[in-house]
Amino acid sequence: MHIAITRRALPLLASFAICATSLVTATSCHAQATQPTRPHITGISHVGYFVSDLPKAIAFWHDFLGFDESYDIDKAGMAPASTPNALIAFIKINDRQHIELFNQPPTTPPNHLSHISFSVDDIQQMRAYLIAKGFEIKPVTTKSRAGDYSFHILDPDGVQVEFVQTMPTGMEAQAAGKLLPSTRISTHIYHLGFLVGNSQRSLDFYANILGFQETWRGGGDPNELSWINMRVPDGTDYVEFMLYRKLPTTFGSSNHIALEVPDVTAAVAALEARPAFKTYARPIAAHIGKNGKRQANLFDPDGTRVELMEPTTADGKPVPSSTAPPPPPAHN
């Protein structure tokens, strides 16, 4: 059947087409507007390490570095500090940051890194946002044994990345203002470093999905990049990609924690004056790193590096980012 379209009908059809186009555009805009937005990722909450000898690890953090063990997790749940046969010991850095020491062999030796954790202001919104990005995450319906809400995903290198929302009734919030001795060599986890075998995939994950912002690139070789620093989107803490061509045989130097100190020379002198320095039995050398900041390296009993670092460059001038290319991808 043939339908004739008169000149009179053309304006009506044009009007209909405009309305239909507007409707599709409006629907598309509405769909975009209803996509979950990322909540605030405000900083590093904590980092977990597997340790082969928990008493020795606690002695390193408490006796030598001067931090207090705040509480433990044993088979029954949360327990006071120094619980016999504790499963996890919590070392308090400040009211919002701590270290978790897992009293068990590493799941993927020789890697002693258990997980890294970031604070968010809305755990349910974080879950919805990541699900919209294609991640599968179980519902967050119960609090952790420490009394907070959390979940984790894996980054492109298999690092377990946890997100946590601290609750007012949780153990960390309840201990605010407590267990902060003057002996602490630092009051702030400055950054966390971990091995990265495919820089572009990690940039896609941390920058494009999580919203981290690149702040600096560096390396000892002018022809190849070694490090990329990525700052949390809503704070000052950052992570450091430790790039590699070939996976090292030991991970402890690369998978590290950096503690901020105002004066590295003074911090080293304070550590060398402590009785536990005799037990530590390693020299500590302060130096200026490639980023222009004074720093010194320590190692826990399992060889995990603890870096002391000043927040500003030694001469007060920023060090330009390296323009060297990253290593070729070590994995897809």
pLDDT digits over 52-62, tens only? 999 999 999 99
Residue 76 has a pLDDT of 72
Contact 212, 155 (CB under 8 A): no
pLDDT mean over 289-293: 97
Confidence of residue 26 (pLDDT cuts 50, 70, 90): very low
User: Which stretch of 20-24, 93-97, 238-242 has the lowest confidence by average pLDDT?
Assistant: 20-24
pLDDT digits over 177-226, tens only? 999 999 999 999 999 999 999 999 999 999 999 999 999 999 989 999 99
pLDDT digits over 310-324, tens only? 999 999 999 999 999
Residue 16 has a pLDDT of 35
* Residue 42 tokens, joined: 């405000």
Which value, in Å, is the radius of gyration of the alpha carbons in the chain?
25
| 159: nearest Cα among 209, 200, 107 | 107
Contact 298, 198 (CB under 8 A): no
β-pairing verdict for 160-165 and 149-154: antiparallel
- Rounded-to-integer distance, Cα 52 and Cα 149, Å: 28
Q: How far is CA 198 from CA 155, 239, 327, in A?
A: 11, 15, 8
Confidence of residue 83 (pLDDT cuts 50, 70, 90): confident
What domains appear along the chain, each with residue ranges and CATH number? 41-309 (3.10.180.10)
Residue 42 has a pLDDT of 98
pLDDT for residue 34 is more than 50:
yes
pLDDT mean over 225-254: 97
pLDDT mean over 133-149: 94
Residue 287 has a pLDDT of 98
| 65: nearest Cα among 319, 321, 328, 296 | 296
Q: Mean pLDDT across the chain, nearest whole number?
A: 91
pLDDT for residue 174 is more than 50:
yes
